[in-house]
Amino acid sequence: MSVKKQFLKSDQVCKVTFRIPKETGKSFETASLVGDFNNWNAEAHQMSKLKKDGSFSLIAEIPTGLVYQFRYVLDGKVWVNDTEADGFVDTPYGDAQNGLLDLTK
């Protein structure tokens, strides 16, 4: 998995590219990015599946200045972390961890 950041000088947003590799994505039909930045709404940031290899990707513009928690939801029910997140924190439920996305520059 991967997270690539492009801070924009003209705006207070960061273009973040999220990618789920084919090894993880090929067994699933849909993927969504959920997190603090979209109120954990699986409909807000649906990822595109590359038919050629089964990977998923999404470019999202996210406000800078904060550290966000996020995860991916596959087929609406399987929650996974990005192994290249900036860190990890326990969920409020104590049953898993969320990835961290640090956009504080």
At 18-53, the pLDDT tens digits run 999 999 999 999 999 999 999 999 999 999 998 788
Q: In whole angstroms, give the CA distance from residue 44 to residue 59.
A: 12
**Is residue 105 over pLDDT 80?**
no
Total tally of structural domains belonging to the chain = 1
Q: What are the φ/ψ torsions at residue 25 (nearest 5 degrees)? A: -80, -25
Residue entry with tokens 């709404």: 41
| CATH number of the domain where residue 70 is located | 2.60.40.10
Which residue range forms the structural domain that includes residue 72? 2-102
Q: In whole angstroms, give the CA distance from residue 79 to residue 67.
A: 20
Task: Quote the pLDDT of residue 39.
Answer: 97
